[in-house]
């Protein structure tokens, strides 16, 4: 569904950032995104696919995770 849906990735990023700014109140902040794979054996997890894994350094069957963080010059809350 996500692969075939038409969506504006810049708009989604801007909406997420605006929500974080509203909640935290720091306009100098940046949204940090990181994608990583979790090497595992078996086929019992959702989101797995045989593809190249930088974590394993080879083609493996593994799920991916995307993590978001927000960083600004203000103190952590």
pLDDT in tens, 27-56: 787 878 888 777 776 666 665 667 777 777
* Domain ranges (residues) in the chain: 9-71
DSSP character at residue 19: H
Position 10 scores a pLDDT of 92
Q: Residue 11 pLDDT > 90, yes or no? A: yes
Three-state secondary structure call for residue 55: coil
Indicate the pTM of the whole model: 0.48
Under the banding of pLDDT at 50, 70 and 90, the label for residue 75 is low
Find residue 44's DSSP bridge partners.
none
Burial of residue 9 (number of CB atoms within 10 Å: 0-12, 13-18, 19+) = exposed
Position 31 scores a pLDDT of 77
């Amino acid at each position: 569904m996500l692969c075939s849906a038409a969506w504006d990735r810049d708009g989604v990023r801007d909406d997420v950032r605006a929500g974080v700014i509203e909640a935290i109140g720091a306009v100098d902040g940046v949204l940090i995104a990181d994608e990583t794979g979790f090497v595992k054996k078996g086929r019992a997890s959702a989101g797995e696919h045989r593809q190249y894994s930088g974590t394993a350094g080879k083609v493996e069957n593994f799920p991916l995770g995307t993590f978001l963080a927000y960083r600004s010059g203000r103190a952590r809350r």
